[in-house]
């Protein structure tokens, strides 16, 4: 199971574990003289995941990984390369294993997960109770906004993230270039995919 974690204002989501090749690593080792946050040998490094995240973020990389108990890997092409040798079982601890990368996505906010294809996008996973117009996926600062029909007495919009995540913020935006805006919002959530729509009490309003 994957979780969204936070550290020093960074957010990162575990994408799981993947096989590496000692002769041609999928990602680039960040353990070099240019590293800012990677102190002491990686096997004894405290908060190794967070420090690798900071090192990747410093270079504006989207994906990073830990291998062999803490060795930090990343790179500008990491997003397209991390799974090239296939997936693997994750060892405990979140720091990979011998030639096994535990891979993390930086800035794993819902909009980025949608745009990077980490949420399966279909009418069953991203859906509204009704649509005034066609179905699409609304993201922050995007061109599409969701509106229910005028006769919808219990309007809701739902996204199935398909995994447990830690949500630190919620942004709500009216339609760009229009006077429409949200007057009231009620948020609820569940990890039970069998819960019927509308049966959960509001936890934030």
Single out the residue in 53, 81, 113 at which a domain terminates. 113
Single out the residue in 113, 134, 169 at which a domain terminates. 113
What are the angstrom distances between the C-alpha of 19 and each of 96, 102, 187? 10, 9, 39
> Is the C-alpha dihedral spanning 66, 71, 76, 82 positive or negative?
negative
In which residue ranges of the chain is pLDDT below 70? 1-10, 107-121, 161-169, 180, 182, 191-205
Helix (H, G, I), strand (E, B), or coil: what is residue 54?
helix
Residues 162 and 193 in one domain: yes
Counting the structural domains of the chain, the total is 2
| Kind plus residue range of the DSSP H or E element containing 19 | strand 10-19
pTM score over 0.75: no
Residues 16 and 83 in one domain: yes
- At residue 125, the pLDDT reads 76
Write out the E strands in 30-168.
63-67, 71-74, 87-88, 100-106, 126-128, 157-159
Residues 181 and 89 in one domain: no
Question: Which tens digit of pLDDT belongs to each residue from 99-113?
Answer: 999 999 886 555 555
| Domain of residue 127, residue span | 120-204
- At residue 145, the pLDDT reads 83
Residues 89 and 128 in one domain: no
Residues 53 and 78 in one domain: yes
- At residue 16, the pLDDT reads 93
Single out the residue in 113, 139, 156 at which a domain terminates. 113
- At residue 10, the pLDDT reads 64
The alpha helices in 84-137, defined as continuous H runs, are 110-115
Residues 147 and 79 in one domain: no
- At residue 194, the pLDDT reads 53
- At residue 135, the pLDDT reads 85
Residues 171 and 81 in one domain: no
């Amino acid at each position: 199971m994957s979780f969204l974690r936070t550290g020093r204002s960074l957010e990162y989501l575990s994408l799981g574990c993947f096989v590496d090749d000692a002769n041609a690593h999928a990602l680039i080792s960040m353990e070099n003289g240019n590293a800012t946050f990677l102190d002491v040998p990686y096997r004894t490094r405290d908060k190794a995941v967070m420090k690798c995240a900071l090192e990747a973020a410093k270079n504006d990389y989207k994906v990073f990984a830990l291998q062999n108990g803490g060795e930090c890997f990343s790179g500008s092409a990491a997003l397209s390369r991390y799974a090239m040798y296939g997936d693997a079982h994750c060892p405990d601890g979140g720091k990979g294993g011998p030639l096994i990368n535990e891979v993390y996505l930086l800035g794993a906010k819902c909009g980025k997960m949608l745009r990077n294809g980490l949420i399966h996008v279909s009418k069953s996973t991203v859906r509204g109770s009704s649509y005034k117009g066609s179905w699409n996926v609304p993201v922050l600062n995007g061109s599409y906004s969701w509106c229910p029909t005028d006769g919808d007495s219990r309007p809701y919009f739902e996204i199935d993230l398909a995994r447990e995540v830690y949500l630190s913020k919620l942004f709500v935006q009216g339609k760009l270039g229009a006077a429409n805006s949200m007057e009231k919002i009620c948020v609820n959530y569940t990890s039970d995919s069998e819960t019927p729509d509308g049966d959960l009490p509001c936890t934030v309003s």
